[in-house]
Structure 1
Amino acid sequence: MKLLTWTLVLSQLVNAQQGIQEEEDALYSRAIKLMSESPLIDTHIDLPQIIRGLGTPLDVIPQLASKLPGHVDIPRMREGHLGGAFFTVWAPCANQVLNQEYGADFLETTEGLRDSLEVLDIIKNMIKQHPEHMQAAFSSKEIRAAFANGKIASLIGMEGTHFLGNSLSTVRLYAEMGVKYLTLTHTCHSSFAASNGFGPPLESSNHGPGLTEFGKELVQELNRLGVMIDLSHTSDQTMRDAIDLSLAPVIWTHAGARAIQNHPRNVPDDILRLIGDGPGQNPGIILSVFFPPFIGPSPETANVSGVADHIEHIASIVGRDHVGIASDFDGMYSSVIGLEDASKYPNLIVELLRRGWNDTEINNVMGENLMRVMDEVDKVKEDMKDKIPSTAIWEKRTDLPADWGGPDLVYLPYDVQDVVNSRPKHDEL
């Protein structure tokens, strides 16, 4: 009799386990189906810095089709059913990584602008050299076209303003070259805005806790250019200033909820309440990151379920039409459990399905919300098409008007020499 009882219990356990596995298989199949119908767009992948670090970049790019160290290569993007990706133009904060100082007014020269141009060149060559897998996109319409063609829609974001040479001219040129979002700071302050750093307390900027006057000009210029304003990494005051000033939706391309994990890189609830569909709110989007220190206090909580917790908390405040997905792959030492690399995106969709998100909500969090924001940013650009470029310069610069006349101003016409010679001479010059 006891043997019969134990046999029955064991049979029930096996059947229960089989039922759970069948349910999981069904959820996974449903996730893959949804991902085949609507693009999952990751707004922050740092693959270019990996390529730059592995060797001479243009020699490394062909290897993207096989296997690269790190989190991302074409086979894993394909396995993960990735529909679109923003690859980031970035150069490190030189005072934090390269032992170079910017000075109190950010006027010391570094190689940041050169390096960022080289990273942009890497991205463009990645796309050009792998046309069977990647297709350049600059709008929601072009994302949909690439997805319909079975390609990974490939877009360009820029992370930080510290390498822009204190110039709006460089911003305008990057926009012409295809940059679709600009993060207002990285882990260091700039002439445009104050940063929240990476984790340890960051010494306050000499130029205020938020946007500088020059940074306010940048926000308006980004609106005019149709470049999305990314508030990841920025100080809380920079976030507030930009939300208050921007005519277009703002974005966080890789952040979490500070209420879930108290980290300065995550967004506090009082700022989340400024985002949404209500009166006076900015209709932007917060895209949730996979970096363990931003997700949970322990390895056990820094997992795919933890990422979903952040998405759901953010959505509980801003609404499910204002959330999205952003890995930060290849820009961190490790990703969370269950989302270890670019092959694992379906696990997050399965987790949201398990929590009761319907098909429309899944499509929205994967990419429809982001594409709606892109369309609204483009509409603001169209509305501002007759506005002339900002003439603002960083007030601390001493190189303008330019002193390029050569010995005895020989390179200048006489009447221009007269103008130059009539200028007041400053003691510091």
Structure 2
Amino acid sequence: MQGRLVAMALLVFGGTCHSSPLPVRVSPKASHHERLNAAHSLLTESPLIDGHNDLPWNLRMFLHNKLHSFNLSKDLTQEKPWMKSPFSHTDLPRLRRGHVAGQFWSVYVPCEAQYLNSVQLLLEQIDVVKRMIAASPRETVLVTSSSGIEEEFKRGRISSLLGVEGGHGLGSSMGVVRALYDLGVRYITLTHKCHTPWAECSERLSQPPNARGLTPYGKEMILEMNRLGMMIDVSHSSARTARDVLKTSRAPIIFSHSAARSLCHIERNVPDDILSSLAENEGIVMVSFYNDFLTCGESAAIQDVISHINHVRSMAGVDYVGIGAGYDGVNRTPDGLQDVSKYPELFATLLEDPSWSLQDLKKLAGLNFLRVFKRAEQVRDELAAEKPSEEIIPIHDIDARWPCRYKFASLDDLHS
């Protein structure tokens, strides 16, 4: 058996006995155990990057951001209150077993904070993530660049990255966007379950948006994010917003945790026309593992995740699909993908399909996202001569509930 596995490993990973430059695949006769070994080897060789994890908000909900009794390095399946929570799927031991090389931590604040203290809450969530990371320096480190992910992968540490979930936390301020980038944030999800004054979300709300998609100020925000190198995430945004972003952005966009609308027809998922146009933008859809997005029901399995992955691949191409499970932000996960330790099971199952080469699976795991990240950095460098935007949101875009946010359209109004 050991000799058979060695021979299979040479076949799978293009060893010295296989010099063909063509993509290689696991034999269709391989057992699940053999495919699982191949999946572990693949994820040891090439980085797995997950686009979205909501653990930081659970730290606020469960512990009020007090970390004296919390350590990400512990087995949280044995710790209260995590062991009994359906929203708890993550700790460093399980991230290790899942071969996660890069994890985006979601910096989230609720929509109810919009027009109130959303910026303060956002800063507090960034603070708690940084303190969480600092408590386990041997295992994870804050990373702010694509090269940093690659370097830490070689060192054997997990890259922790920051993504802001919801533009309602920005206070519609270019200055806040720039400050967030300086703090290490590398993507911003334009909306959550509420419209911002400048972008429409995917939720059907009683209060209409300022514009069906992006307002002119919203488009200015996109261009400023391009200038900074901030990746633009349109998960939770309406299809109209996503289309406007595709027309406006000079860098690839991301869907950090979304699924395909044609397989589960909800506004939250991505329609086929946007999937088809993604290749031109060179962006990525990172597929969610939330049952409700996968099957429009409470139950799902690994194959449902694969169906969405395959649909994105068929509509956009194999270079434009990734993984954004959404663990710790959902209470229903597919059978076989119960937590962050189970990623090898997904890849082992994908290896049953001869249409997936090993190189394709490396792209899915993380290489596609690294390409997007690098391109965002290249656009930033190309725009280095541009000055920061000094635009402020127009008075007519301000929500009626926010009467004091910008009392004056400009400083000149102080003298009128």
TM-score of the superposed pair, with normalisation by structure 2: 0.85
* Structure 1: distance between partners of 2:210 and 2:179: 26
Q: Is 1:249 the equivalent of 2:267?
A: no
Higher relative contact order (CA 8 A, sep 6+): 2
Match of 1:208 in 2: 211
Alignment of 1:52-71 (within 5 A): 52-60=60-68, 62-68=70-76, 69=82, 70-71=88-89
Following superposition, the deviation at residue 243 of structure 1 comes to 0.2
Report the more deviating stretch, 339-348 or 57-66: 57-66
* Structure 1: distance between partners of 2:289 and 2:307: 12
Give yes or no for contact 1:339–1:348 (8 Å, CA) kept in 2: yes
* Structure 2: distance between partners of 1:29 and 1:315: 25
Q: Is 1:264 the equivalent of 2:267?
A: yes
Partner-residue secondary structure (3-state), 2:281? coil
Matching residue within 32, 42, 55 for 1:34: 42
Match of 2:157 in 1: 151
Match of 1:83 in 2: 101
Following superposition, the deviation at residue 58 of structure 1 comes to 3.7
Match of 1:222 in 2: 225
* Structure 1: distance between partners of 2:385 and 2:111: 35
* Structure 1: distance between partners of 2:266 and 2:351: 27
Match of 1:363 in 2: 362
Following superposition, the deviation at residue 60 of structure 1 comes to 5.0
Provide closer, same or farther for how the CA distance between residues 117 and 178 of structure 1 changes in structure 2, counting only shifts above 3 A.
same
Q: Deviations over 1:364-395 (max 9, x none)?
A: 00000000011111010001111111111111
Provide closer, same or farther for how the CA distance between residues 299 and 52 of structure 1 changes in structure 2, counting only shifts above 3 A.
closer
Partner-residue secondary structure (3-state), 1:344? helix
Q: Deviations over 1:15-74 (max 9, x none)?
A: xxxxx9970100000000001111110010011011112214242574221133211111
Provide closer, same or farther for how the CA distance between residues 206 and 316 of structure 1 changes in structure 2, counting only shifts above 3 A.
closer
Q: Deviations over 1:250-307 (max 9, x none)?
A: 110000000111111110001111111xxxx21101100000010014455x111100
Following superposition, the deviation at residue 138 of structure 1 comes to 1.4
Give yes or no for contact 1:184–1:192 (8 Å, CA) kept in 2: no
Give yes or no for contact 2:90–2:328 (8 Å, CA) kept in 1: yes
* Structure 2: distance between partners of 1:157 and 1:378: 16
* Structure 1 unaligned residues grouped into runs of 5+: 1-19, 95-99, 103-108, 404-418, 425-429
Identity %: 37
* Structure 1: distance between partners of 2:209 and 2:379: 32
Following superposition, the deviation at residue 203 of structure 1 comes to 3.1
* Structure 1: distance between partners of 2:53 and 2:327: 5
Following superposition, the deviation at residue 238 of structure 1 comes to 0.2
Following superposition, the deviation at residue 119 of structure 1 comes to 0.5
Alignment of 1:231-380 (within 5 A): 231-276=234-279, 281-300=280-299, 302-356=300-354, 357-380=356-379
* Structure 1: distance between partners of 2:158 and 2:220: 34
Following superposition, the deviation at residue 78 of structure 1 comes to 1.2
* Structure 1: distance between partners of 2:296 and 2:142: 38
Q: Is 1:175 the equivalent of 2:196?
A: no
* Structure 1: distance between partners of 2:149 and 2:39: 20
Provide closer, same or farther for how the CA distance between residues 22 and 235 of structure 1 changes in structure 2, counting only shifts above 3 A.
closer
Amino acid at match of 1:336: P
* Structure 2: distance between partners of 1:254 and 1:165: 23
Amino acid at match of 1:186: H
Match of 1:44 in 2: 52
Partner-residue secondary structure (3-state), 2:247? helix
Partner-residue secondary structure (3-state), 1:260? coil
* Structure 2: distance between partners of 1:392 and 1:224: 14
Following superposition, the deviation at residue 219 of structure 1 comes to 0.3
Amino acid at match of 2:264: Q
TM-score of the superposed pair, with normalisation by structure 1: 0.82
Q: Deviations over 1:183-238 (max 9, x none)?
A: 110010001200002xxx32353411100111111000000000111010001110
Bigger radius of gyration: 1
* Structure 1: distance between partners of 2:89 and 2:357: 29
* Structure 1: distance between partners of 2:226 and 2:410: 29
Match of 1:406 in 2: none
Amino acid at match of 2:335: I
Q: Is 1:72 the equivalent of 2:90?
A: yes
Aligned residues: 369
Give yes or no for contact 2:71–2:132 (8 Å, CA) kept in 1: no
